[in-house]
């Protein structure tokens, strides 16, 4: 069990550029979540997958954000035309579905995005 | 929309003091309550997952209680140590297929 891995750890970009982050979950976990955290706030839900299906997406999520989990393993989160307000820590977490493991989330170290 | 509140926002205690934090959540359609610890430069780590009213869980010097009828959970730390310094996050969900909704956290600093 190597844990949840996220890349890159840090990303600095200019406003208007596109960025993509990757998350590799714990291999036997079928659920994968993306959260965003800004200073002074708790993690805010963005979207989640069960296997390759995207089951829920936050209403707060702009159409500039898209996430994929093509083979039910790793996931990518892309932000197009970044804005300064997108600067945040992007956290990925994985879990077992249903009652298994009681839905406990295992988090990665996050990707810190800074939009200049 | 599920709303999870935590208090206090931050807390400074002396080494050896005992302390506690509060998490409030909607009591209707309750499914589960989670506590996580997030140390600086590390990943959030699960402490407890609680589902039953009256549930009490313990892990070393840290324990938690759950009251689903009134919608609150307490986290207790006995004899705080500097290594307990972290942000403690509470999260709730109202079904097994909905995502966890997190509170803003309580930032604990333990002074040696």
CB within 8 Å: A42 and B4: yes
| b/e per residue A72-88 (b: at least 16 CB within 10 A) | eebbebebeebeeebbb
Between A40, A103, A109, which is nearest B43 by CB? A109
Q: How far is B110 from chain A (nearest CA, A)?
A: 19
**CA-to-CA distance for A95 and A63, rounded, in angstroms?**
26
Interface contact B52, partner A, CB < 8 A: no
Query: Tokens in use for A88?
Result: 């945040």
Contact list in B for residue A48 (CB cut-off 8 A) is 99
Size of interface A-B (CB pairs under 8 A): 60
Instruction: State yes or no: pLDDT of B1 exceeds 90.
Output: no
Based on the number of CB atoms within 10 Å of its own CB, is B36 exposed (0-12), middle (13-18) or buried (19 or more)? buried
Tens digits of residue pLDDT in B71-97: 999 999 999 999 999 999 999 999 888
Contact list in A for residue B35 (CB cut-off 8 A) is none
> Residue A45: which of A8, A90, A85, A109 has the closest Cα?
A90
Closest B-chain CA to A100: B96
Q: Give CA separation, B88 vs A2, A69, A110, B10, B74, in Å.
A: 24, 30, 17, 10, 11
Residue whose entry in the numeric block shows the structure tokens 């170290």: A109
Q: Can you give the pLDDT at residue A97?
A: 82
Which phi and psi angles does A34 have, rounded to 5°?
-115, 130
Interface contact A83, partner B, CB < 8 A: no
Contact list in A for residue B98 (CB cut-off 8 A) is 56
Average pLDDT along chain A: 94
The distance in angstroms from the start CA to the end CA of chain B is: 41
Q: Pick the residue with more confidence: A41 or B2?
A: A41
Reduced to 3 states (helix: H, G, I; strand: E, B; else coil), residue B20 is strand
Between B4, B44, B103, which is nearest A107 by CB? B44
Based on the number of CB atoms within 10 Å of its own CB, is B70 exposed (0-12), middle (13-18) or buried (19 or more)? exposed
Instruction: State yes or no: pLDDT of B104 exceeds 70.
Output: yes
Q: Can you give the pLDDT at residue A100?
A: 63
Q: Can you give the pLDDT at residue A61?
A: 83
CB within 8 Å: B44 and A99: no
Interface contact A108, partner B, CB < 8 A: yes
Between A55, A97, A104, which is nearest B49 by CB? A104
Q: Can you give the pLDDT at residue A98?
A: 67
Instruction: Tell me the Ramachandran region of residue A103: left when phi exceeds 0, alpha when psi lies from -120 to 50, beta otherwise.
Output: left
User: Rounded mean pLDDT of A85-101?
Assistant: 88
> Which residues touch B112 (CB under 8 Å, ≥6 apart)?
B15, B82
Instruction: Tell me the Ramachandran region of residue A72: left when phi exceeds 0, alpha when psi lies from -120 to 50, beta otherwise.
Output: left
């Amino acid at each position: 069990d190597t844990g949840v891995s996220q890349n890159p750890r840090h990303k600095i970009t200019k406003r208007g550029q596109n960025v993509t982050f990757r998350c590799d979950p714990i291999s036997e976990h079928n659920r994968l979540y993306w959260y965003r955290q800004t200073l002074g706030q708790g993690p805010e839900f963005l979207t989640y997958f069960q296997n390759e299906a995207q089951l829920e997406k936050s209403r707060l999520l702009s159409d500039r954000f898209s996430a994929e989990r093509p083979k039910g393993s790793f996931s990518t989160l892309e932000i197009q035309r970044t804005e300064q307000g997108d600067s945040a820590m992007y956290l990925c977490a994985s879990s077992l579905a249903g009652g298994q493991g009681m839905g406990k989330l295992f988090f990665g170290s996050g990707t810190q995005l800074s939009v200049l | 929309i599920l709303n999870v509140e935590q208090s206090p926002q931050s807390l400074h205690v002396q080494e050896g003091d005992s302390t506690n934090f509060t998490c409030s959540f909607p009591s209707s359609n309750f499914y589960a309550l989670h506590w996580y610890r997030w140390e600086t430069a590390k990943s959030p780590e699960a402490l407890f997952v609680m589902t039953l009213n009256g549930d009490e869980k313990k892990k070393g010097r840290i324990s938690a209680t759950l009251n689903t009828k009134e919608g609150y959970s307490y986290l207790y730390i006995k004899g705080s140590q500097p290594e307990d310094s972290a942000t403690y996050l509470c999260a709730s969900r109202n079904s097994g297929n909905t995502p966890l909704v997190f509170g803003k956290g309580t930032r604990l600093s333990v002074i040696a």
